[in-house]
Amino acid sequence: MEAIASLKREHRVMREVCKACRHELDRAGRCHVVDAAEIERFIEFFRFYTNSCHDPKEEDLLFSMLHHKGLAWDEEPLKSLCYEHDAMRAMLKAAAEWVPKARRGDQSALEPLCHDLLAYVDEIEQHMAKEESGIFVHALDVLSEADHDELTRAFENVDSEDSEEGAVEYYEGLAQDLTSYGT
């Protein structure tokens, strides 16, 4: 149970950062000025926290365990969820490619950067909602107490490897920074 709760906790952090990112993109749209350094911090957060930490816990550990319990990789829901992980990485990369131009003050980068990042935020929010109403519920149904314990230990190993390098603390701190707008 704890393993699914920890993925949901990470979703809550990502949702808050998505909300702050929307706020920043909205501000940029209204003022016609993009704060490229700030946008880059959002991209940096998603790159580490979502792409390097959260998604691999799902794909390599949770989905993999569910696959061993009978779900096929090339059928729903695993097929779509893994496809969406890949698609979201590509969308984030597309947004990041506009940042150097935006940092140089090139106005032509503003619209595509905001457009691509907003598309990413829309996608990740939908993806998280889909996981919480689908695969997480399925996992709670089919996995045994021992399976959940095994997953929890595996997640803790991932976290402690990253923690040794100070990465988890750094990115949780970054999330707090990014979501403390208006306070």
Task: Please say whether the dihedral angle defined by the alpha carbons of residues 51, 56, 62 and 68, taken in this order, is positive or negative.
Answer: positive
Residues 68 and 63: their CA atoms lie apart, in Å, by 9
Question: Least distance (Å) from Fe ion to the CB of residue 29?
Answer: 28
Nearest residue (CB) to Fe ion, 24 versus 131: 131
Residues 104 and 61: their CA atoms lie apart, in Å, by 41
Nearest residue (CB) to Fe ion, 110 versus 168: 168
Which parts of 99-138 interact with Fe ion (CB under 5 A)? 131
Q: Give the number of residues in contact with Fe ion, rule: CB under 5 A.
A: 2
Question: Least distance (Å) from Fe ion to the CB of residue 161?
Answer: 19
Nearest residue (CB) to Fe ion, 10 versus 34: 10
Nearest residue (CB) to Fe ion, 81 versus 114: 81
**What would the 3-class secondary structure string for 92-143 be?**
HHHHHCCHHHHHCCCHHHHHHHHHHHHHHHHHHHHHHHHHHHCHHHHHHHHC
Question: Least distance (Å) from Fe ion to the CB of residue 104?
Answer: 34
Q: Are the C-beta atoms of 56 and 161 separated by less than 8 Å?
A: no
Nearest to 117 by CA among 10, 41, 57, 7: 41
Q: Which of 58, 66, 92, 162 binds Fe ion (CB under 5 A)?
A: 58
Site string for Fe ion, 11-50 (x = CB under 5 A): ----------------------------------------
Question: Least distance (Å) from Fe ion to the CB of residue 125?
Answer: 11
Interface contacts to Fe ion, rule CB under 5 A:
58, 131
